[in-house]
Amino acid sequence: MKVLLVGSGGREHTLAWKISQSPLCKTLYCAPGNAGIAQHAELVDIAADDVAVLVNFAKRQKVDLVVVGPEAPLVGGLVDRCTAAGIRAFGPSRAAAQLEGSKAFAKETLHRHGIPTGDYHTFDYVEAARAYVASLRPPIVVKADGLAAGKGVIVCNTKEEANHWVEVMLMEGRFGNAGSKLVIEEFLQGEETSILAFTDGKTIATMPSSQDHKRAFANDKGPNTGGMGAYSPAPVVTDEVYDKIERDILIPTVHAMNVEEKPYRGVLYAGLMIDSGKPKVLEFNVRFGDPETQPILMRLKSDILPPILGPIDGTLDQMQLEWDQRPAVCVVMASGGYPGKYEKGFPITGIEEAEALGEVKVFHAGTAERKGSLVTSGGRVLGVTALGEDLSGAVELAYQAVGKISFEGAHYRKDIGARALRR
């Protein structure tokens, strides 16, 4: 079949790598892609959120399947438009994608259906938000309601800081329409984890656990980023906790979306806080996570296309996924200055040497080809991912591979997986 993959980051390189291995895939396109994805797919110069142009391309090329990587085209209705055009597309509908597209919708749905999460209130007026902040004890979590490229969630350590972000969102319009409404919610204590599951609205196929590292610097210091690394599995998710997540969160959420008449099909990503073995929902994403996808799919031994087609065709109950029991670790190498301002265009060397170590795959996130050379073109540049016999071995190999790669200004956390190793 002909497959069109939408997106350009490390998640999409990982998906392209797996899809290209499938005997079901005859031709793979990627829009817009990156230099790493170009090793596996024919790149198409169409922006990931240009829904109309993407659908026209898929029709013109007689594409059989569209796989959507990022959240913006899902919230923008790409799956709906593909379906209307008779093209199978992987991901939730525009209505179901509101689980990520609107934090208020997600919280309201969780509370309405008794799914465990923190207390919250929504606001679109500064005065009411300030009054609520005055009643709280820090830390206080302030979230832009809509999509804000991963920058719309602020953990505030003082009431003054919370009020500042209320004003930044509601008065200054820092996040545009995404911040015209905000959610102020309870700060949840515990250890964070991510659980992803394929679902067709009836069946769920849960993937192994993982843990992201969101802060820019070691020991969870510095500003939030899109993710500086991840590992899978996460020891905080014991077998008992895993069962609770399926029983108390994933299954009820899929059922809730059916009750809400917004049936959910695709990948459901639950960002969770685990406290004393009890999981609560921090947020939902409506697509594969980044960088969690890198270590999770590094462990997938099965063909990825059947579980991608399963949610579309309603055949997920027929799937048996095989996972490598070895852990995997991804270390993100980022541009100097990220997540703030950074320069682009620096040559990258050493990827072949890194992959020559064996059981290492370097996934491209922010790369481009310029005059025959590989250069940096984004904040998160590479996701260096390794398998090991145990977690310490995977960590050691990942950092050994990182040591082979260089580009000007490169920075990365040196403590990916440290929390799990302490366990």
- Quick one: 334 and 309 in the same domain? no
Q: Dump pLDDT digits (tens) for 10-66.
A: 999 999 999 999 999 999 999 999 999 999 999 999 999 999 999 999 999 999 999
- Quick one: 206 and 276 in the same domain? yes
| Residue 367 within any structural domain of the chain | yes
| Residue 44 within any structural domain of the chain | yes
State how beta strands 182-186 and 140-144 pair.
antiparallel
Cβ atoms of 70 and 287 within 8 Å: the answer is yes
In the chain, the number of structural domains is: 4
DSSP 44-57: ----TT-HHHHHHH
- Quick one: 202 and 294 in the same domain? yes
Angstrom distance (rounded) from CA 259 to CA 271: 22
Domain containing 175 equals 125-180
- Quick one: 163 and 76 in the same domain? no
| Residue 336 within any structural domain of the chain | yes
- Quick one: 236 and 354 in the same domain? no
16 phi, psi to nearest 5 deg: -60, -40
Angstrom distance (rounded) from CA 237 to CA 25: 34
- Quick one: 78 and 130 in the same domain? no
Given 318, 341, 363, the domain boundary residue is 318
Q: Dump pLDDT digits (tens) for 223-244.
A: 889 899 999 999 999 999 999 9
Given 280, 296, 318, the domain boundary residue is 318
Angstrom distance (rounded) from CA 209 to CA 194: 6
- Quick one: 401 and 308 in the same domain? no
Q: Dump pLDDT digits (tens) for 252-309.
A: 999 999 999 999 999 999 999 999 999 999 999 999 999 999 999 999 999 999 999 9
- Quick one: 166 and 280 in the same domain? no
Specify the pTM.
Answer: 0.96
Angstrom distance (rounded) from CA 154 to CA 184: 10
- Quick one: 336 and 273 in the same domain? no
CATH number at residue 296: 3.30.470.20
| Residue 102 within any structural domain of the chain | no
Cβ atoms of 337 and 308 within 8 Å: the answer is no
CATH number at residue 50: 3.40.50.20
